[in-house]
């Protein structure tokens, strides 16, 4: 596998991408599970779904099923969504329960994970429900977003992404007032990223490679280049996350969507949280999106997305933004990722050159190298 370290050549640097095999080899994905996904913070959903004791939401970390639940004392707890009897799944979707009851043989757990009762257990000599409990998982929140981590030794969420909460407060207008918005209510006819979960035939890193750079924006997203002055687009490296900001946006652009100069958001911003979460902010009415790219196989990636908006009726500006993202911007990225995925299997291709200019802007790919370095470092552990 190629080493993604650069060699400097004058004012320009030459560096290679990850080798094609890093994307296409199923054994690499097996190693990624242990070295990346079971050790990092994984977005699960909005905390607003967990308002009362017994409220739960389910999610996944690669192929591990997880649920998060609010205890009657108000604490958040998370568990593997796997019954301790014969491994049946316990909870589905989201909702509220008084006890967690397995649909297979009816073992019931209290919402702190302790086995409460198992049908017929009084007839089984030596069976003590108090000795059985669900396996717990770390859970923490950041600005209303719930994350879990399967690594008991992991740094806290706040320490894993230092400065992220403050940046979101500063750059996402009305952050505390934004509410999760059901995709079927907002735009049932749009599909795309607004369906909460979709799967793409590509490796997860192909999607992230695309998200972490804007070198492709000028060519592949002409409307985006009309919406945002790409000369002003800058990327900040914060170690475990990058912040992408375009402070100069055009309310009267002709090809993406129009918004008003008086609208709350007058910039575009993205955050990439290592390894697979992306937070988005688009110009116009207050908004935020959270995307998680979860590999379910080396060649299949589930895209989980949540949209947050200011409560109340939807304006034309907001509807036009959603339509632009769902019908133009996202399909452009999907087409790129599908084509790259095919190309990575070509006999002619085993890796390529990255365009490094040292500036972390929309003309180069230094942010891709940051992503590849994080990947290489994690895989060496």
- Give contact residues for ligand FES (rule: CB under 6 A): 83, 85-86, 88, 102, 104-107
Question: Residue 19's binding partner, choosing from ligand FES, Fe ion, none, with beta-carbon cut-off 5 to 8 A by kind?
Answer: none
Give the shortest CB-122-to-ligand FES separation in angstroms.
16
Instruction: Give the nearest distance from C-beta 314 to Fe ion in angstroms.
Output: 25
Query: Shortest distance, CB of residue 53 to ligand FES, whole angstroms?
Result: 23
Q: Report d(CA 52, CA 71) in Å as an integer.
A: 8
107 binds, among ligand FES, Fe ion, none (CB under 5 to 8 A by kind): ligand FES
Q: Minimum CB separation from ligand FES for residue 179, in Å? A: 35
Q: Which does 102 bind (CB under 5 to 8 A by kind): Fe ion, ligand FES, none?
A: ligand FES
Of 25 and 333, CB closest to Fe ion: 333
- Minimum CB–partner distance for residue 269 and ligand FES (Å): 45
Distance between CA 381 and CA 376 in Å, rounded?
9
Q: State the nearest-atom distance from the C-beta of 121 to ligand FES, in Å.
A: 11
> Is there a contact between 294 and 301 (Cβ–Cβ < 8 Å)?
yes
Q: How many CB atoms lie within 10 A of CB 253?
A: 18
Residue span binding Fe ion (CB under 5 A) among the ranges 137-145, 157-165, 238-246, 326-334: 326-334
Q: Quick one: what does residue 377 bind among Fe ion, ligand FES, none, with the CB cut-off 5 to 8 Å set by partner type?
A: none
* Number of neighbouring beta carbons within 10 Å of residue 176: 8
Q: How far apart are CA 109 and CA 194, in angstroms?
A: 34
H/E stretch holding 12? strand 12-16
Show the tokens assigned to 85: 């009897």
Site size for Fe ion, by CB under 5 A? Answer: 1
Helices 366-380 and 204-211, packing angle to 10 deg: 140
Contact (Cβ atoms closer than 8 angstroms) between residue 178 and residue 313:
no
> What does 258 interact with, of Fe ion, ligand FES, none (CB < 5 to 8 A by kind)?
none
Distance of CA 5 to the CA centre of its chain: 26
Taking the complex as a whole, the smallest distance from the CB of residue 113 to ligand FES amounts, in Å, to 14
Are 372 and 4 in contact by the 8 Å Cβ rule? The answer is: yes
Taking the complex as a whole, how short is the minimal distance between the CB of residue 96 and ligand FES, in angstroms? 20
Out of Fe ion, ligand FES, none, what residue 333 binds, judged by CB under 5 to 8 A for its kind, is Fe ion
Q: Could you give the CA distance from residue 337 to residue 315 in angstroms, rounded to a whole number?
A: 32
The CA distance from 28 to 18, in Å, is 12
* Cβ distance to ligand FES smaller for residue 80 or 293: 80
Q: Binding segment for Fe ion among 64-72, 234-242, 274-282, 332-340 (CB under 5 A)?
A: 332-340
Which residue's CB is nearer to Fe ion, number 58 or number 210? 210
Nearest residue relative to Fe ion (C-beta): 333
Yes or no: say if 370 and 39 are a contact pair by the CB < 8 Å rule: no
Instruction: Give the sheet arrangement for strand 94-96, strand by strand.
Output: 42-46, 145-149, 136-142, 76-80, 64-70, 55-61, 94-96
Q: Pick the closer one to ligand FES by CB: 102 or 208.
A: 102
**Contact between 333 and Fe ion (CB under 5 A)?**
yes
Distance CA 323, CA 77 (A): 37
Give which of Fe ion, ligand FES, none residue 265 binds (C-beta under 5 to 8 Å, depending on kind).
Answer: none
Contacting residues toward Fe ion, per CB under 5 A: 333
């Amino acid at each position: 596998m190629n080493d993604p370290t650069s060699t400097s050549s004058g004012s320009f640097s030459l560096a290679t991408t990850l080798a094609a095999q890093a994307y296409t080899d199923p054994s690499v994905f097996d190693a990624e599970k242990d070295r990346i996904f079971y050790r990092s913070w994984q977005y699960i959903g909005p905390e607003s779904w967990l308002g009362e004791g017994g409220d739960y939401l389910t999610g996944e970390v690669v192929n591990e099923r997880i649920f998060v639940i609010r205890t009657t004392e108000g604490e958040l707890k998370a568990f593997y969504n796997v019954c301790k009897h014969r491994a049946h799944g316990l909870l589905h979707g989201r909702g509220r329960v008084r006890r967690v009851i397995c649909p297979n043989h009816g073992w019931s757990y209290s919402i702190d994970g302790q086995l409460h009762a198992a049908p017929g257990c009084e007839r089984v000599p030596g069976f003590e429900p108090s000795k059985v409990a669900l396996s717990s998982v770390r859970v923490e929140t950041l600005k209303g977003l719930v994350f879990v981590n399967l690594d008991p030794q992991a740094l806290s969420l706040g320490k894993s992404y230092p400065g992220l909460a403050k940046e979101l407060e500063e750059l996402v207008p009305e952050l505390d007032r934004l509410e999760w918005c059901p995709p079927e209510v907002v735009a049932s006819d749009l599909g795309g990223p607004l369906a909460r979960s979709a799967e793409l035939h590509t490796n997860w890193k192909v999607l992230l490679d695309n998200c972490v750079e804007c070198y492709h924006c000028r060519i592949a997203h002409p409307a985006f280049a009309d919406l945002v002055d790409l000369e002003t687009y800058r990327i900040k490296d914060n170690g475990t996350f990058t912040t992408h900001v375009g402070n100069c946006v055009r309310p009267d652009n002709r090809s993406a969507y129009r918004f008003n100069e008086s609208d709350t958001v007058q910039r575009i911003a993205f955050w990439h949280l290592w390894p697979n979460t992306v937070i988005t902010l688009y110009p116009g009415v207050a908004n935020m999106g959270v995307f998680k790219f979860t590999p379910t196989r080396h060649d299949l990636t589930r895209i989980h997305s949540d949209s947050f908006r200011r409560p109340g009726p939807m304006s034309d500006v907001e509807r036009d933004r959603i339509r632009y993202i769902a019908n133009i911007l996202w399909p452009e990225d999907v087409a790129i990722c599908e084509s790259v995925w095919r190309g990575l299997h070509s006999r002619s291709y085993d890796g390529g050159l990255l365009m490094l200019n040292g500036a972390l802007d929309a003309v180069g790919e230094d942010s891709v190298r940051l992503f590849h370095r994080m990947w290489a470092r994690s895989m060496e552990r």
